[in-house]
A = this chain, B = another copy of it.
């Protein structure tokens, strides 16, 4: 169990608003953070640059970027250039849903946690101001915890239990923004937009931009997002 007295964990860091807040939250809890970002062929690659900036800004023991080519299976507006990112609300689960993305991400986080002999994973999943993605829900996260024990050497040989921490799970976007401000997060460094350009500037129209803007508005806090279009 990692021997030391300080708890350490793998923190999934996309480079967006939520995962930056989670990283700051874990640091505030005294966790030694091993930050993991995934280069999955996402359209908004500038979020990976944002992840690097966030680690510099908030601190971490280390930061790894693992490449997995989800473009090879496609099926999402984020990994298939032929599919458009909606710029207005859609019914049901939107086309920005990436099939099995969080399962791939958590599997990689679990693998790294096993290598590091850690038991705790942090993820920015949220089910209030979110896009309806199935793999953000609490029942999904609990099922992954159950799987993790059966999947691993530590689970089999030591009965280790892995824990997935999702501290933002039931917060509104405004509450997340307020939490981040209280933790000193500089949201100007983060990139949420699915259509962000190479400089990390936001479209202001996609689902992710809408949720983010709403968060700052409702929190009554200044929105540092650099929009390509002036907000309507």
Contacts and interface: CB of A to CB of B under 8 A. Distances in A.
A139 B92 CA distance: 33
Contacts of A155: 134
Contacts of A70: 66, 111
A107 B65 CA distance: 18
A153 B140 contact: no
Interface in A93-148: 93, 97-104, 107-108, 110-112, 114-115, 134-135, 137, 139-140, 143-144, 146-147
Given A67-B68, A68-B68, A150-B140, A107 B100 contact: yes
Interface in A64-108: 64-70, 72-75, 92-93, 97-104, 107-108
A221 interface: no
A163 to B, nearest CB: 16
Nearest to A139: B150
Contacts of A147: 103, 140, 143-144, 146-147
- The majority secondary structure among interface residues of chain A is helix
A1 interface: no
A115 B100 CA distance: 10
A218 to B, nearest CB: 27
A99 to B, nearest CB: 4
Contact of A99 (B67, B100, B114, B139): B114
Contacts of A135: 150-152
A62 B72 CA distance: 13
How large, as a class, is the contact surface on chain A? 35 or more
B114 A103 contact: no
A97 to B, nearest CB: 6
Interface string A1-28: 0000000000000000000000000000
Given A72-B64, A72-B65, A134 B150 contact: yes
A142 to B, nearest CB: 9
A56 interface: no
Given A99-B110, A99-B152, A114-B99, A67 B72 contact: yes
Given A67-B67, A139-B150, A143-B151, 7 more contacts: A66-B69, A67-B69, A73-B108, A75-B115, A100-B114, A135-B150, A147-B147
